[in-house]
Amino acid sequence: MARGEDPQDSYHLVGISFFILGLGTLLPWNFFITAIPYFQTRLAGTNSTVGTLGTNHTAPADPFNFNNWVTLLSQLPLLFFTLLNSFLYQCIPEAVRILGSLLAILLFFALTAALVKVDLSPGPFFSITMASIWFINSFGAILQGSLFGVVGIMPSAYSTLFLSGQGLAGIFAALAMLLSMASGVDAQTSALGYFITPCVGILMSIMCYLSLHHLEFARYHLVKKPSQTPTHELETKAELLQADEKNGIPNSPQNAALSVDLDLEKEPEAPLQPEKPSLLAVLQKIWLMALCLVLVFTVTLSVFPAITAMVTSSTGPGKWSQFFNPICCFLLFNIMDWLGRSLTSYFLWPDEDSRLLPLLVCLRFLFIPLFMLCHVPERSRLPVLFPQDAYFITFMLLFAISNGYLVSLTMCLAPRQVLPHEREVAGALMTFFLALGLSCGASLSFLFKALL
C-alpha cells in the first residue's frame, strides 16, 4: 500500500486507546501503595476506616509490616514472570494474555473494594489482601509485557503515548486519593470510591483494547507480517529506536525490549543473517548499566514506600497533617519522577563512558539514612534529626527526580553499547535487572524498617 493510501488515526482514537492502556498497566501498584494508611488502619484493628485515606498526626501502627510486604509481593511477580516470559508468550495467544490479565485484575480490585464494607479481623484481612496483591501484580506483569509487544508494532508516536500513560499512573492514583479525602463524605464511602476508581480504569482499558481491532488504522499496523512491512514502516521503526535512546522511559523500563532488530528488516534479501546474540557477550557490554539500574531501584524500593509512608508532619493535628503524606510523599514523588524521566528527552549526561554515572548512582544510598532520620513517630532505635517538613520535602524532590532521570538514562545508554541485532537481547537483560533491583529493594525494606 502506498504511503498516500495509508489509513489515518481518525479523531486520534488509537492514540487515546494506547494512552489509557498504558495508564491501566500501572494503576494496580500505584493505587495499593497510595492507600497504605487505609490498610494500616484496618490491620490495626480499626474497621471504621476513620482517617484511613489520610495520614493523621500520629501514624497508625503497622504490626503486619504492610508497607514492606506490599512492596515485596508487588515486585516478586515481576521478577518471576520476567524469567518465564519467553515460555509464556509462546504458549498463550496475545489476546488471551491481555484480556485475561485485565479481567483478573478487575476481579481482584473489585474484591478489594468490596472488603471496605466487610468487617474482618486483621489476620484474615491481611491474608486476603496479600493474596490479592500477589495475583494482581502477577497478571499485571503479564499484561505489561504483552502490551509492549503490541505497541512495538505501532509507529513511535504511539509508543510515546503508551509510556506517557504509564508515567501518569502514579499521579492519577495520588490525585484520586486527594479527591477521595476532600470529598466530604464519610471515610468508609471515601475509601470505597477510591478503590472503585481503578476498576473503572481497568474497564476502560478492556474497552480500548477491544476497540483496537475495530479501528482501521490499528488493524493496518497490527495484522501485517514482518515480511510485508513497507519501507516507510522501517523508517517508523527507526524513529522508535532513536526515541528509545533519546527519551525517558516512564515507570516501565521494559520498553528497552522494543528495540527491534532493524538491520534484519532493512535487508530481507540478504541470505546470511547475523549470528544469534550471546547473552554473555551482551552482558559483558552492558554490565555497568545493568548494575547501575539495579542499584537505583534497590535504593528507591528500600525506602519508598516502606519508610517514606511512615513520615508524618511535625505540625499539630489539622488539615495539613492529614494531607501531608499523600501530597509530599506520593504525589510529589510521582510528579518529580516523571519529570526526571522526561529530562532525557533533552540531554543524556553523563555518557556511558563516564565514571560520574556510577558515582551519582552510589550517592543515592545517602537517601536511606536521610529518610530514616525524618519525622517517623513509630521508632525505637534511631533519633529524629530532620523533624521539619521542609527536610522531608527537599529529600523527596531530589530522591524522585534522581530516580526518574537515572533509570531513564541507564535504559537509554544500554542499547547504545551493543550492535543493532543485539539490542533486543540487551533490552530483555535490562528488564530482568530492573525486576532484580525492585525485588532487592523490597527485601531490604524489612531490614531498614527494623532499624528504626
pLDDT digits (tens, 9 = 90+) for 190-204: 888 899 999 999 999
Those residues whose C-beta lies under 8 Å from the C-beta of residue 300, and which sit 6 or more positions away, are: 364, 399, 403, 441
Indicate whether 5 belongs to any domain. no
Indicate whether 2 belongs to any domain. no
pLDDT digits (tens, 9 = 90+) for 395-436: 999 999 999 999 989 988 888 888 888 887 887 788 889 889
Residue 260 sits in a domain whose CATH number is: 1.20.1250
pLDDT at position 299 is 97
Residue 359 has pLDDT above 90, yes or no: yes
pLDDT at position 224 is 60
pLDDT digits (tens, 9 = 90+) for 199-242: 999 999 999 999 998 888 888 888 764 444 443 333 444 444 44
Grid cell for residue 30: 500505584
Average pLDDT score over the chain:
82
pLDDT at position 87 is 67
User: Which among 25, 22, 66 has a CA at the least distance from the CA of 44?
Assistant: 66
pLDDT digits (tens, 9 = 90+) for 291-308: 999 999 999 999 999 999
- The domain tally of the chain equals 1
Those residues whose C-beta lies under 8 Å from the C-beta of residue 413, and which sit 6 or more positions away, are: 289, 348, 351, 352
User: For the whole model, what pTM was predicted?
Assistant: 0.80
pLDDT at position 124 is 93
Q: Which of 19-28, 44-53, 341-350 has the lowest mean pLDDT?
A: 44-53
Residue 23's domain spans which residues? Answer: 10-451
Pick the more confident residue, 334 or 158: 334
Cα 400 to Cα 248: distance, rounded to the nearest angstrom: 14
Indicate whether 421 belongs to any domain. yes
Residue 261 has pLDDT above 70, yes or no: no
Portion of the chain with pLDDT greater than 70, in percent = 82
Indicate whether 4 belongs to any domain. no
Indicate whether 226 belongs to any domain. yes
Cα 92 to Cα 95: distance, rounded to the nearest angstrom: 9
Indicate whether 1 belongs to any domain. no
Burial state string for 187-226 with b = 16 or more CB within 10 A and e = fewer than 16: bbebbbbbbbbbbebbeebbebbeebeebebbebbeeeee
